[in-house]
A = this chain, B = another copy of it.
Amino acid sequence: MLPGSSIGQRLVLTSFGESHGRAIGAVLDGCPAGLEIDEKDIQKMLDQRKPGQSLITTQRKEKDQVEIISGVFRGYTTGAPITMVIWNSDQKSKDYENLKTLLRPGHSDYPAMIKYNHFNDYRGGGRFSGRLTATHVMGGAIARKLLKITLGIETNSYTSQIGKINIERRFNETMIESIYKNEVRCPEEKTAKKMRDSILDARKKGDSLGGIIESITTNVPEGLGEPIFNSLESDLSRAMFSIPSVKGVEFGSGFEGSKMYGSENNDLYMIKKGKIMTKTNNSGGILGGISNGMPITMRVAFKPASSISQKQETVDIKTKKSAILQVKGRHDPCVVPRAPPVVDSLVSLTLVDHALMSGIIKPVL
């Protein structure tokens, strides 16, 4: 849905605000009436995304305190749009003043300047800041609760790669409870430690790291997805690429599966406890764009954060001459550990949207 600030067809999230403006917020329209909701439900997921929690994230302190200002009455959703706001506080806009002319490599600065003819709010990345993913979480926390209550669907994601360090096992439901035991959000304690060290090392060098988030969603009923163009993969990938720094998305065996034979990659059907299931899950729970009842598994690749404190060659857009840039300010050496609640949110929003279309979730609970 255009012109860009909204996602969803039946459950529509509209994101607003800028990193260093007065506020960021979200309007969630189409949420079924009758869902018990409290600011705490949302705050919990926002806190998981919040910066300043450890050495591996940016040192900006943002309270990120959410307020619900419409759509909830006597503790329940009313069917009207739910508006949520976080007032901005800890901005240091001066840090960005010199960026007005020096293009930051890897950032949206240059195309945004051209697109909006310099009218865009560039402070702190403005509309392009990772901070805006908090607005996804506002709506996503509600969607995630709704999925759990109505259909028992559980969406979880975790860090599976930081730089060149990889998790050892893949998609596994037992991992879920260990995700938030460490600051890297990696369910393998030993791997998490290595990841943490590599992030601190990058930080020391004034550099940054990327990584991969894996997402697993269980108890998904068969039949979600609207082929051809609103396949579940189409809508999930669209949602994922709205997260800054995401450059790749794959489902099930994904890119690895493209190297396999059909006889290896096909998931054979079997009967288990009277239910039709597949022996493997190379499809990632989606066939023909429709959920097949197996867990939905997705991997999301994040590039290393583009804000680094090392000196970089660049261009001054005013003088159109070469220049050297050294980005100041407090940045995340690696955004991946803060991404799991964002991925969970967008998966949840997408699944509720499809559940409403399929009539599996009703407009009034």
* Contact, CB under 8 Å: A111 / B287: yes
Could you tell me the distance between the alpha carbons of A73 and B121 in the complex, rounded to whole angstroms? 6
Q: Does A246 count as interface, using CB distance less than 8 angstroms?
A: yes
Stretch at the interface among A44-52, A53-61, A78-86, A150-158: A78-86
* Complex partner residue of A292 from B71, B73, B110, B279, CB under 8 angstroms: B110
Q: A103-B276, A222-B111 are in contact. Are A303 and B3 (CB under 8 A)?
A: no
* Complex partner residue of A270 from B244, B270, B322, CB under 8 angstroms: B322
* Contact, CB under 8 Å: A247 / B257: yes
* Contact, CB under 8 Å: A269 / B304: no
Could you tell me the distance between the alpha carbons of A358 and B114 in the complex, rounded to whole angstroms? 12
* Contact, CB under 8 Å: B16 / A27: yes
Give the size range of A's interface with the partner: 35 or more
Could you tell me the distance between the alpha carbons of A108 and B80 in the complex, rounded to whole angstroms? 14
* Contact, CB under 8 Å: A16 / B301: no
Q: A208-B261, A227-B4, A362-B359 are in contact. Are A108 and B289 (CB under 8 A)?
A: yes
Q: A227-253, CB under 8 A of B: which get 1 and which 0?
A: 111110111011111101011111111
Stretch at the interface among A141-149, A185-193, A306-314: A306-314
Q: In A246-298, which residues have CB < 8 Å from any B CB?
A: 246-255, 257-271, 274, 276, 278-279, 282-284, 287-293
* Contact, CB under 8 Å: B269 / A242: no
Q: A34-B119, A210-B260, A261-B208 are in contact. Are A2 and B223 (CB under 8 A)?
A: no
Binding site for B on A (CB under 8 A): 1-7, 9-12, 14-18, 21-25, 27, 29-30, 33-34, 69-71, 73, 76-81, 83, 85, 103, 105-112, 114-117, 119-121, 126-128, 132, 161, 163-164, 202, 207-212, 222-223, 225-231, 233-235, 237-242, 244, 246-255, 257-271, 274, 276, 278-279, 282-284, 287-293, 301-308, 310, 312-315, 317, 320-322, 357-359, 362-364
What are 13 A-B interface contacts by the 8 Å CB criterion? A5-B27, A5-B229, A16-B81, A23-B70, A111-B292, A114-B223, A163-B261, A164-B259, A207-B261, A208-B261, A237-B240, A242-B289, A265-B306
List 18 additional contacts besides A21-B73, A105-B268; criterion CB under 8 Å: A1-B229, A2-B9, A3-B10, A4-B231, A6-B29, A14-B14, A16-B71, A17-B69, A17-B70, A106-B265, A111-B293, A128-B289, A163-B260, A212-B258, A250-B301, A268-B314, A269-B314, A359-B362
